Amino acid sequence: MNEEKYNFSFEVYNSIDELQPADAALVSEARKITGNAYAPYSNFNVGAIAQLKNGKTVTGTNQENASYPVGICAERVLLSATGSLFPNAVIDTIAISYDNKNGKSNHPISPCGICRQSLLEYEERVKQPIRLILSGLEGKIYIIKKASQLLPLSFGGDDLK
Ligand code: THU
pLDDT per position as a tens digit, 39-62: 999 999 999 999 999 999 999 999
Cα–Cα distance, 9 to 66 (Å, whole number): 38
Choose, from 75, 123, 124, 138, the residue flagged as catalytic. Answer: 75
Give me the pLDDT at residue 27, please. Answer: 98
Domains and CATH numbers, the chain: 12-150 (3.40.140.10)
Distance 150 CA to ligand 1 centre (A): 16
Work out which ligand 1 atom sits closest to the CA atom of 76: 3
Give me the pLDDT at residue 44, please. Answer: 98
Give me the pLDDT at residue 39, please. Answer: 98
> At 105, phi and psi to the nearest 5?
-130, 45
Work out which ligand 1 atom sits closest to the CA atom of 115: 6
pLDDT in tens, 53-109: 999 999 999 999 999 999 999 999 999 999 999 999 999 999 999 999 999 999 999
Give me the pLDDT at residue 65, please. Answer: 98
Give me the pLDDT at residue 55, please. Answer: 97
Q: Is 75 a catalytic residue?
A: yes
Q: Is 118 in the pocket of ligand 1 (CB under 6 A)?
A: no
Instruction: Report the half-sphere exposure of 157 (CA within 13 A, side-chain side).
Output: 10
**Reduced to 3 states, what is the DSSP secondary structure of residue 70?**
helix
Give me the pLDDT at residue 110, please. Answer: 98
Query: What angle is formed at CA 79 by the lines to CA 89 and CA 64, rounded to 5 degrees?
Result: 160
Q: Is 151 in the pocket of ligand 1 (CB under 6 A)?
A: no
Instruction: Please state, rounded to an integer, the average pLDDT across all residues of the chain.
Output: 98
99 forms bridges with which residues in the sheet?
A: 45
Give me the pLDDT at residue 75, please. Answer: 98
Average pLDDT over residues 100-127: 98
Give me the pLDDT at residue 102, please. Answer: 97
Distance 98 CA to ligand 1 centre (A): 9
